[in-house]
Amino acid sequence: MNVLHRYLRMTAAAAVLSACMAFPAFAAEETAEAAGPGVLIEEASAEEEIPEEPEKVSGERGELLGVFTTSGYCNCKKCSGGHSLTYSGTVPAPGHTVSADLSRFPIGTKLWIDGTVYTVEDMGSSVKGNWIDIFYASHEEALAHGLRSQEVYAVIP
């Protein structure tokens, strides 16, 4: 009889937990992406425009950090699984967002690459060491970037 009572209690607990998880206050809807505790951000639609001209970040070219392999990526399913937000929770912007090895460059680090100041806002599973992935508005632009060896500099504010 003791085993039966334990089984019934476990079944009841599982039913209560299932009911709680199905309640909208505890579960994100299928059309939204969780952005943090209690915050839902609607996913960007495919037609939604990505800003072409992000706010320019001021800063001068500082110390040479090394020659890095750079590649391009966008927010399509092929490049980034279709995610509309970066690892840091921002909306990526061309001419602004890069993905880097976070053990080398923490989120928010400013990098000067070929005359443009970029901000590290993302990370990628294959972005390790001397590799920087530059965000582009379209998959075609990302592919056109190809693989390049580029000097990367710190930014002097």
pLDDT at 13: 63
pLDDT at 119: 95
Q: For 85-128, what is each residue's pLDDT tens digit?
A: 888 889 999 999 999 999 999 999 999 999 999 999 998 888 89
Q: Mean of the pLDDT values across residues 131-148?
A: 93
pLDDT at 60: 80
Q: Is the CB of residue 60 less than 8 Å from the CB of residue 155? A: yes
Rounded Cα–Cα distance for residues 32 and 66 (Å): 40
Query: pTM above the 0.85 mark?
Result: no
Q: Which two tokens stand for residue 38?
A: 């209690």
Quote the mean pLDDT of the chain: 76
Instruction: For the chain, list the domains and their CATH numbers.
Output: 2-42 (no CATH), 60-156 (2.40.40.10)
